[in-house]
């Protein structure tokens, strides 16, 4: 590669000063000793040999440097010449290389000398630097990709206003499910809808609890007047419809019937009234085909927690109306798979004209009910079949009675159309049965705690479980929330671990409320010097905890006197703590967050996710973070809140996605852990304009 030419004009005479300098150099060379060797030259100019111009190594250099094309001499040691600048650059590179080598050597010996505790601090600092680097790179990536990455999502068409993914009629018919109202959950076959679900035209924010328990807006749910008036579940008919509202409170005999019905069940069990359920060990109830949740709404005032499960219904949904009232509910059905709860999860199962034929398929639905019941738990069934007169109905009723006895259920009482059984508390009952008189016991390989998409089993489950504890021997609520030493040992926990978790969440909930205050009341005028008021206790009602762990967030909300119920979700990507959550007197389910949640749009006021992003996206998944956030948006009510707690890089990534979702978002530092951040978001009230 040729050197750059020194630009000049031919024929111009060299100035005298330059001639004089050249003559002095020649005289100096002449005076040099004649015996000067290359070695002595290298000692006088140590870098001249080191940084010799490799491009001109094959040429014979001039005595005073290289002669350029225009006749000027370029001495490598004259400052300002191209050759000198090049060699100076090489000299600086060599010096920098030498410094780096020395620094690395010193760092190596220093690393060997530090203690193990010091290494922990170094790793902690390195981890923070690494996460900061990832965060910066994410910011740079967002900046460089620009609008293409942050483009806002489009709104879904009107048909998705009440859409629940994974319940596709045509796919279920293809699988042999001929009854379109009893749909199996089939996820993963349909295309994802990367759009935001709009509210109905006349949608209104639900009334706050407890008013919202008794009155809901008609426009918020999909239901017709005919569906309101049609026959069905006992509690499904206890409602009144006017132009804008559906009312569940009335002075009529129909409304009083819920209280009388609950009182009747308590007496059949041997209790004074429904307020004595807690003392009898009943806290959590699975209400199958719950109607519109009136049974659970009445029992809630007695601190009983009722989870409603019902089939997916495109219109007039029991689950949708129950959730709109602020009561626990989810889409699930007794069809071909087990419900997503571990064995021994509920103290009572209730079915009031729920539409399930318990005598069908050889009694396999009763076996599933038995799996879900705790030892000593109650099964309550209200049906015309129990008081039938025709031979066919009497035959079916006789089958249910005999099968219940074969799985060690004792009938306590029968009044009118209602019958109550009590599950055995003693495992010895199963071994004392006559050979072949009932289903066999499940082996350990079949008696598992993760019944996710698991087909119904034709064997009695839960008997191999270390959680086999009769309900009458458990602590009554609310003491049950703090399990004793022996109960914790079953779950592999120590008392101090649970106490530490409880204290941590108590502090977190207090911080959440403090942080939400200025955000909620930011648009409210106040006098100078006044502090923001605390959010009201009933600001939230339906809460979804997407990564519940031990259920500590649920307990902290109740201890803070918040009028909420919490759906505790245990992700299939992490440890299964759902048995612990159920044993503490809470409700929850197992779920894979790469699938749609079994609920209708606009059903939760607050969505909470602590550590979920780290759990779900620490390794490659079949879904993206954007898919997860679109699902959160579907479940969240307008003006609802999202609280995400995770590592700094993941929170920053989540914040970038909120732009696409049109959420208002704010990142807040956490005082307890500098490696984590809080992301607090609010969903706007976007709705379809009337045509």
pLDDT digits (tens, 9 = 90+) for 474-530: 999 999 999 999 999 999 999 999 999 999 999 999 999 888 877 776 654 545 566
Q: Name the residue among 261, 329, 260, 262 with its Cα closest to residue 292.
A: 329
DSSP state, residue 54: G
SS3 681: strand
The answer to whether 238 touches 258, Cβ cutoff 8 Å, is yes
Pairing of strands 215-217, 284-288: unpaired
Backbone angles phi, psi at 499, to 5 degrees: -65, -40
Structure tokens at 186: 């089939």
Residue 151, pLDDT > 90, answer no
Pairing of strands 664-669, 676-682: antiparallel
Highest mean pLDDT among 187-201, 309-323, 406-420, 443-457: 406-420
3-state SS of 585-651 is CCEEEEECCCCCCCCCCCCEEEEEEECHHHHHHCCCCCCCHHHHHHHHHHHEEEEEEEEEEEEHHHH
Query: What distance in Å separates the CA atoms of residue 302 and residue 528, rounded to the nearest whole number?
Result: 43
pLDDT (0 to 100) of residue 37: 43
Query: What distance in Å separates the CA atoms of residue 413 and residue 419, rounded to the nearest whole number?
Result: 6
Q: Name the residue among 247, 322, 199 with its Cα closest to residue 640.
A: 199
Find where tokens 């806290």 sit. 283
As to burial, measured by CB atoms within 10 angstroms (0-12 exposed, 13-18 middle, 19+ buried), residue 581 is buried
pLDDT band at 446 (very low <50, low <70, confident <90, very high): confident
Pairing of strands 604-610, 542-545: parallel
Backbone angles phi, psi at 199, to 5 degrees: -80, 160
How far lies 564's CA from each of 16, 284, 616, 643, in Å?
97, 15, 26, 16
CA–chain centroid gap for 457, Å, is: 29
Highest mean pLDDT among 112-121, 449-458, 661-670: 661-670
Query: What distance in Å separates the CA atoms of residue 651 and residue 113, rounded to the nearest whole number?
Result: 37
Residue 186, pLDDT > 90, answer no
pLDDT (0 to 100) of residue 557: 96
Q: Name the residue among 453, 295, 309 with its Cα closest to residue 369.
A: 309
3-state SS of 362-431 is HHHHHHHHHHHEEEEEEEEEECHHHHCCCHHHHHHHHHHHHHHHHCCEEEEEEECCEEEEEECCCCHHHH
pLDDT (0 to 100) of residue 522: 60
pLDDT (0 to 100) of residue 8: 38
Residue 690, pLDDT > 80, answer no
More confident call, 548 vs 452: 548
SS3 246: strand
Lowest mean pLDDT among 302-306, 326-330, 351-355, 379-383: 351-355
The answer to whether 627 touches 607, Cβ cutoff 8 Å, is no
Structure tokens at 637: 């009510």
CB under 8 Å, gap of 24 or more: what pairs does 530-533 form?
Answer: none
Lowest mean pLDDT among 112-121, 554-563, 636-645: 112-121
pLDDT (0 to 100) of residue 229: 65
Q: Name the residue among 373, 590, 397, 398 with its Cα closest to residue 460.
A: 373
- pLDDT 10s digits, 219-249: 999 988 777 666 445 555 567 777 789 988 6
pLDDT (0 to 100) of residue 283: 98
pLDDT (0 to 100) of residue 624: 94
Query: What distance in Å separates the CA atoms of residue 673 and residue 663, rounded to the nearest whole number?
Result: 26
pLDDT (0 to 100) of residue 110: 53
Query: What distance in Å separates the CA atoms of residue 267 and residue 585, rounded to the nearest whole number?
Result: 23
Query: What distance in Å separates the CA atoms of residue 269 and residue 131, rounded to the nearest whole number?
Result: 59
Peptide bond into 478 cis (omega under 30): yes
Query: What distance in Å separates the CA atoms of residue 554 and residue 550, rounded to the nearest whole number?
Result: 9
What sign does the dihedral 644-646-651-654 (CA atoms) show? negative
Mean pLDDT for the stretch of residues 157-170: 83
What are residue 329's DSSP bridge partners? 308
pLDDT (0 to 100) of residue 532: 60
- pLDDT 10s digits, 239-287: 777 778 998 864 343 445 888 999 999 999 999 999 999 999 999 999 9
What sign does the dihedral 365-599-631-587 (CA atoms) show? negative
Query: What distance in Å separates the CA atoms of residue 158 and residue 114, rounded to the nearest whole number?
Result: 65
- pLDDT 10s digits, 30-76: 444 444 444 333 333 333 333 344 444 444 444 344 444 433 334 43
Cα radius of gyration rounded to whole Å, the chain: 38
SS3 349: strand
Q: Helix H segments across 149-240?
A: 169-174, 211-214, 225-229
pLDDT (0 to 100) of residue 83: 58
Highest mean pLDDT among 138-147, 159-168, 256-265, 402-411: 402-411
Residue 1, pLDDT > 60, answer no
pLDDT band at 188 (very low <50, low <70, confident <90, very high): low
Query: What distance in Å separates the CA atoms of residue 265 and residue 267, rounded to the nearest whole number?
Result: 5
pLDDT (0 to 100) of residue 226: 76
Average pLDDT, the chain: 80
Backbone angles phi, psi at 66, to 5 degrees: -85, 140
Query: What distance in Å separates the CA atoms of residue 320 and residue 312, rounded to the nearest whole number?
Result: 9
- pLDDT 10s digits, 658-681: 999 999 999 998 877 778 999 999
pLDDT (0 to 100) of residue 334: 84
More confident call, 389 vs 278: 278
Query: What distance in Å separates the CA atoms of residue 475 and residue 584, rounded to the nearest whole number?
Result: 10
Mean pLDDT for the stretch of residues 337-344: 93
Peptide bond into 59 cis (omega under 30): no
Residue 9, pLDDT > 60, answer no
SS3 476: coil
Mean pLDDT for the stretch of residues 143-169: 74
Residue 108, pLDDT > 50, answer yes
Instruction: Say how many CA atoms lie within 13 Å of 492 toward its Cβ.
Output: 5
What are residue 410's DSSP bridge partners? 422
Residue 630, pLDDT > 80, answer yes
Structure tokens at 326: 């602020």
pTM of the model: 0.76
150: number of Cβ within 10 Å = 13
The answer for residues whose C-beta is within 8 angstroms of residue 585's C-beta and 6 or more apart is 283, 284, 305, 477, 478, 480, 481
173: number of Cβ within 10 Å = 13
Angle (nearest 5°) at CA 642 between 636 and 644:
140
């Amino acid at each position: 590669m040729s050197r750059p030419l020194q630009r000049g004009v031919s024929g111009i005479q060299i100035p005298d000063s330059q001639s004089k300098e050249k003559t002095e150099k020649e005289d100096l060379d002449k005076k040099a000793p004649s015996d000067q060797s290359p070695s002595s030259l290298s000692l006088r100019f140590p870098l001249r040999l080191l940084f010799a111009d490799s491009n001109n190594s094959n040429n014979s250099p001039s005595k005073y440097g290289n002669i350029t094309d225009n006749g000027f001499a370029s001495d490598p040691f004259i400052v300002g010449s191209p050759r000198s600048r090049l060699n100076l650059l090489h000299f600086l590179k060599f010096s920098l290389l030498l410094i780096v080598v020395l620094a690395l050597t010193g760092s190596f010996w220093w690393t060997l000398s530090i203690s193990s505790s010091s290494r922990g601090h170094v790793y902690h600092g390195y981890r923070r630097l690494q996460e900061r680097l990832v965060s910066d790179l994410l910011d740079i990536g967002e900046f460089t990709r620009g609008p293409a990455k942050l483009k806002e999502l489009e709104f879904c068409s009107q048909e998705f206003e009440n859409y629940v993914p994974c319940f596709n009629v045509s796919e279920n018919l293809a699988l042999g499910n001929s009854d379109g109202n009893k749909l199996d959950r089939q996820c993963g076959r349909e295309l994802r809808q990367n759009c935001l679900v709009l509210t109905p035209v006349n949608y209104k924010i639900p009334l706050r609890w407890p008013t919202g328990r008794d009155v809901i807006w008609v426009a918020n749910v999909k239901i017709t007047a005919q569906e309101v008036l049609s026959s069905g579940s006992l509690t499904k008919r206890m409602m009144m419809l006017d132009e804008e509202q559906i009312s569940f409170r009335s002075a009529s005999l129909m409304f009083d019937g819920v209280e009388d019905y609950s009182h009747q069940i308590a007496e059949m069990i041997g209790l004074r009234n429904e307020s004595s359920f807690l003392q009898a060990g009943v806290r959590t109830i699975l209400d199958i085909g719950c109607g519109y949740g009136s049974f659970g709404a009445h029992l809630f005032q007695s601190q009983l927690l009722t989870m409603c499960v019902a089939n997916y219904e495109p219109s007039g949904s029991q689950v949708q109306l129950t959730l709109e009232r602020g009561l626990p509910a989810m889409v699930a059905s007794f069809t071909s798979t087990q419900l997503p709860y571990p064995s021994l999860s509920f103290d009572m199962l209730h079915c009031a004209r729920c539409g399930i034929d318990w005598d069908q398929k050889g009694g396999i639905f009763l076996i599933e009910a038995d799996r879900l019941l705790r030892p000593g738990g109650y099964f309550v069934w209200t049906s015309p079949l129990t008081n039938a007169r025709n031979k066919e109905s009497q035959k079916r009723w006789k089958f249910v009675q005999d099968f219940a006895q074969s799985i060690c259920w004792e009938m306590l009482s029968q009044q009118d159309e209602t019958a109550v059984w009590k599950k055995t508390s003693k495992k010895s009952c199963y071994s004392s049965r006559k050979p072949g008189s009932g289903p066999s016991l499940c082996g350990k390989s079949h008696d598992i705690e993760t019944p996710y998409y698991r087909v119904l089993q034709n064997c009695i489950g839960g008997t191999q479980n270390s959680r086999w504890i009769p309900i009458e021997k458990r602590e009554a609520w609310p003491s049950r929330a703090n399990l004793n030493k022996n109960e914790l040992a079953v779950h592999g926990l120590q008392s101090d671990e649970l106490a530490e978790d409880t204290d941590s969440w108590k502090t977190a909930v207090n911080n959440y409320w403090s942080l939400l205050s200025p955000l909620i009341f930011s648009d409210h005028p106040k006098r100078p010097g006044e502090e923001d008021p605390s959010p009201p206790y009933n600001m939230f009602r339906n809460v979804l905890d997407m990564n519940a762990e031990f259920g500590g967030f649920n307990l902290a909300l109740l201890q803070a006197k918040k009028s909420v119920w919490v759906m505790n979700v245990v992700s299939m990507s992490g440890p299964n703590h759902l048995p612990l959550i159920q044993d503490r007197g809470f409700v929850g389910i197992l779920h894979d967050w790469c699938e749609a949640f079994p609920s209708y749009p606009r059903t939760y006021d607050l969505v909470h996710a602590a550590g979920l992003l780290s759990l779900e996206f620490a390794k490659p998944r079949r879904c993206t973070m954007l898919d997860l956030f679109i699902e959160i948006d579907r479940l969240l009510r307008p003006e609802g809140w999202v609280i995400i707690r995770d590592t700094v890089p993941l929170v920053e990534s989540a914040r970038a996605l909120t732009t696409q979702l049109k959420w208002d978002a704010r990142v807040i530092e956490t005082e307890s852990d500098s490696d984590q951040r809080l992301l607090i978001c609010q969903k706007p009230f976007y709705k379809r304009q009337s045509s």
